[in-house]
Amino acid sequence: MQGPSQTADGNRPPANPIRRAARQHIALDMLRPTIAEMIRAEHPSIADRDLVPVSMVNSFRARHIEALLRDEAGSLSELDASVARSIAAEEIIVENVEADFDARRTFGDRAADMIARFGGSWTFLILFAAFLAAWMLVSRAQGGTSFDPYPFILLNLILSTIAAVQAPIIMMSQRRQELKDRLRARNDYQVNLKAELEIRTLHEKLEHLHERELIRLTEIRSLLETSLAGKSGAKSESRAKPQPGAKPKPSV
């Protein structure tokens, strides 16, 4: 079956150059006042109905956002600049921090995370308590022939070794978790900043469109009033003018 966007030979029809040009350009009077003023400041000869390339609009939009952030914060950080560029390029700034961070982990990192996860669980505590109890019970049952008699010097050595090895592993896992939290907080900051700027831009666009609609309605109203006034004047003149062949009414 032939699709609506395919020709008889199964190929897609060529793109409409007029529609493609409309997507690549936008009229100056359709832009927000702040962006339009910036473009007029650098290109004084441009008219309101002239078409402006979208690439130029995006560059001016990025400059406007950077100036706005610089005025509010006093300086422009790299995060703020990246948000401004993403808004101008209409790119998605959300990142999957968990997947990207886990993909960069080495075998040692994964092993450390597993050991730290197991060492901080109730399973480890129960198994380790059972191991200590069995060690001490067997040693006490063997009496003087035990491999580790009371006060369990070998057991103390094993516990000290486990603690000395487990502490750095847990610290490595905590450091990676801290780095992951920092990356997540950075991404959240960028997403929240972009959302705030987009909402502010949307409010400005709506106000601009509302003002344009009010101006258009005012113009239409004035045209209708002028037209109605002209028609009523023409009717009154036609009524006042005597028709040819009509006899004047006698005065009483």
Tens of pLDDT, residue by residue over 97-111, are 778 888 888 888 888
* Domain interval for residue 144: 97-231
Per the model's pLDDT, the better-predicted residue between 42 and 236 turns out to be 42
Using pLDDT thresholds of 50, 70 and 90, give the confidence band for residue 252: very low
Q: How far is CA 182 from CA 108, 148, 152, 189, 243, in A?
A: 21, 48, 45, 10, 92
Residue 248 in any domain: the answer is no
Amino acid at 67: A
pTM over 0.75? The answer is no
Residue 35 in any domain: the answer is yes
Q: What is the mean pLDDT of the chain?
A: 77
Same domain, 113 and 215: yes
Same domain, 63 and 180: no
What tens digit of pLDDT does each residue of 5-50 get?
455 555 554 544 444 444 577 777 777 777 777 787 777 777 777 7
Same domain, 189 and 135: yes
Lowest mean pLDDT among 18-22, 69-73, 78-82, 216-220: 18-22
Domain count, the chain: 2
Q: d(Cα 109, Cα 126) in Å, to the nearest integer?
A: 26
Phi, psi of 241, rounded to the nearest 5 degrees: -80, 130
Residue 6 in any domain: the answer is no
What tens digit of pLDDT does each residue of 238-251 get?
666 555 555 555 55
Using pLDDT thresholds of 50, 70 and 90, give the confidence band for residue 1: very low
Q: Report percent pLDDT > 90 for the chain.
A: 9
Are 51 and 26 spatial neighbours (Cβ–Cβ below 8 Å)? yes
Strands 51-53 and 25-27: antiparallel
